[in-house]
Chain A
Amino acid sequence: MNFEFSADQMQLKDIARKFLEKEESVKRARNVLEGDASYDEELWSQIIEMGFTATAIPEEYGGLGLGYLELCVIAEELGRSLAPTPFSSSVYLASEAILNYGDDATKQALLPALASGEKIGAFAHSEANTSPTESNIKCSFSEGSLSGTKIAVVDGDIANVFIVTANNGSGVGLYLVDGSSDGVEITTQPTLDPSRSHAAVSFNNASATELKSDWSDVLGLLDRAAVLFSFEQLGGAEACMDMAKEYAMGRYAFGRSIASFQAIKHKLADMFIAVELARSNCYYGAWALSTDAPELPTAAATCRVSASQAFHECSKENIQTHGGMGFTWEFDCHLYYRRCRQLAANIGSQAIWKDKLISSLERANQI
């Protein structure tokens, strides 16, 4: 059995980790949070230079033609370091949508630009304070143009390629809209995690290209992305566990290191358990994504639920372990707490993914 990343993949992970540490990615996340920029352009261009955005895009479309396992290890490190860049929107969602549902001309036109970072992609899906479904999506497509409003579009204010879910009268599918088209109006929205920008995007008869897709493809796109988001969540969860441990070891109260109190040790043990379960489920997701396994819907929902739980557990208990200092602006705990919420919201709520998990198991059992 070889249920592990290869030596080369682990080396890539190590390179990514050291690079992001050297570039002080967490500090940059704080700068974006405190400043006016929507993302860290300098870090983004270095990430592009490292080739990370091109990882899973085939060579014929200007990518490196590595695979999803490579992308998974990079995602984990981006999550660990809170990288304030549009990587997930552009790579896990926009590039994947075009790669899987675009025709060859669209792929030729856009994938090289997404791989090289010349263009930034975003996924515009949510419309209201509820989970998007095939029946409640109001954005509409007809005769080459798209209308409607999307909210909380991550990286919406910096993207120039939008993948939009819309109804063409017979069902909901994926559409491609150029951000500079007439009729596209972008309004930045304030969020709980300003280290990642969000926007409301209105389409008013904007020119759009149909990607060959239906609602099941929308779900398929989310499944693929869920595996990669899970790795970001896993990296974030582990970072919180490590922070909590380091702080507890050095913090003394009642004449002893607080790391020697069982109340703190058991809290850390619970974090460790959550992280180990999430890591193992993420590997399952990585395997399913990289082999295009029929189990992908189950595996994706499993790792998404598990990694969301682990990041939630670790980011909140990291603050708790830090005590009052954890509640200050100065310490980094809140950056992870915010990012945890942002990643949890990004591709749909925990309740929806749990329901998807059980539905996919029901389908699997019927066959």
Chain B
Amino acid sequence: MDFNDTPEEAQFRKEAFDWLKDNAPLKEGPKDSWRASSEEEGLKEVKVWQNKLRDGGWACLHWPKVYGGRESTPIERVIWGQEASKFKIPGGYLEIGQGMAGPVMMMYATEEQKERYLPPMATGEEIWCQLFSEPAAGSDVAGIKTKAELDGDTWTINGQKVWTSGAHFSDYGILVTRSDPSAPKHKGLTFFFVDMKSPGIEVKPIKQISGGANFNEVYFTDVKIPDSQRLGAVGDGWKVSLTTLMNERLAVGDASGPDFQEAFSLARGQDLNGKLAIENDSVREKLADWYCQQSGLKYAKYRNISALSRGETPGPQSSITKIVSGNKLQEIANFGLDMLDSAGILRTDEEGAEQSMYQYGFYGAAGIRIAGGTDEILKNIISEQVLGMPQDMRADKGLPFNEIPTGNK
């Protein structure tokens, strides 16, 4: 039992570090991270960086080389991530395309389409989004209603999507629709990719509880999609969606925000009733709980990496990460604000202020516990897929989709 690389892994790590060192500044401390002045600026910087990665052979590590990837092993991806985290490099914007749309395109698009769309996805030149959730189809994502009707070799799309990250700056999207409302829920779906600049697509930002707007509503009014942009067979849309949902659940990992270390430092400097907060027993007990959770997740991850290193598929440990870290963040954020006593209610937007870190965590955690599968859906997944327990009885089983009760919502 050790934490050491194999000789091959050490070699890869060195290669990755050396390249990064020549191309990006090292972080000066744990809080030193890349931050863009605006979304537009960020997008520009990400594209420049992604081109550098492509030229250096470090873009889309897990993709085939022919589409701009590197054909790296899963353990190499992990090592790259560890090394890259030491540097101040641009990130965001591209994960949905490269992590979710890319794999679906590789599996279901024609060779010609792959050659056309994948390389610019790898360089970030074209950005993709995912059009799945709808106002009445969240956890029950197969319950979507957006209508797709075929006439000749053109489909007409009408309906509404919601929670679409980055729709407002995306060039393309992957889209799941209902092509046969008289078939049972999971049977009547069909999957496409769509040009986000098509006439009839309207993108409206959603204002979140934090006041920010990272997601959108996307309205489709008589949007035309050629049948050649269908991915998978007509009626097979659920099967195609599962490819990306599995990828999404793997991609949404550790909740970002203040963690044990931040709460610990805060408690060691914060006055509480005339003493340092760290001397308060209830504070110590909470800190111990968070440390154990953080440590448990860290070493669960090491167990996963070890499995990858041996060429095995990681166990189900990763399914617990989001539940544990999302809830921990919510508690730590609440603690951080509570430490300020009455002043913890005062809002500050000052960049880098300790207080604002806990404020973002306070808002953000509420979202993390929902995004990419709610805590409850993840617990269903753990009990069904990991522990092998049966599915809950469903009231909509076998019913034609258009006869399923909706409660008018």
Contacts and interface: CB of A to CB of B under 8 A. Distances in A.
B154 to A, nearest CB: 43
A3 B383 CA distance: 26
Contacts of B376: 262, 266
Interface in B287-309: 287-289, 291-293, 295-300, 302-303, 305-307, 309
Looking at B292, B305, B324, B384, the one whose CB has the most chain A CB atoms below 10 A away is B292
Interface stretch (B39-47, B83-91, B109-117, B277-285): B277-285
Contacts of A248: 389
Interface string A249-284: 100000011011110111011101100111111011
B317 A276 contact: yes
Given A265-B379, A265-B380, A268-B387, A358 B309 contact: no
A125 to B, nearest CB: 22
B299 A354 contact: no
Interface centre among B299, B303, B379, B388 (most CB of A within 10 A): B299
Interface residues of A, number: 49
A278 B296 contact: yes
Contact of A280 (B296, B380, B383, B393): B296
A286 interface: yes
A3 B4 CA distance: 9
A305 to B, nearest CB: 5
Nearest to A249: B389
Given A260-B393, A355-B284, A281 B1 contact: no
Nearest to A278: B296
A256 B303 contact: no
B370 interface: no
Interface of A: 1-6, 69, 245, 248-249, 256-257, 259-262, 264-266, 268-270, 272-273, 276-281, 283-284, 286-287, 290, 301-302, 305-306, 309, 351, 353-355, 357-358, 361-362, 365
B392 A262 contact: yes
5 contacts: A260-B389, A268-B383, A278-B296, A351-B285, A365-B264
User: 6 nearest interchain CB pairs?
Assistant: A277-B296, A354-B288, A265-B383, A280-B299, A269-B379, A3-B302
B304 to A, nearest CB: 9
Choose among A2, A260, A302 the residue with the greatest number of B CB atoms under 10 Å from its CB: A2
B392 A2 contact: no
B390 interface: yes
A277 B297 contact: yes
A19 to B, nearest CB: 23
B391 interface: yes
Given A259-B390, A277-B320, A358-B288, A2 B297 contact: no
A3 B297 contact: no
A239 to B, nearest CB: 14
A273 B307 contact: no
Nearest to B384: A265
A120 to B, nearest CB: 30
A259 B303 contact: no
B404 interface: no
Nearest to B298: A280
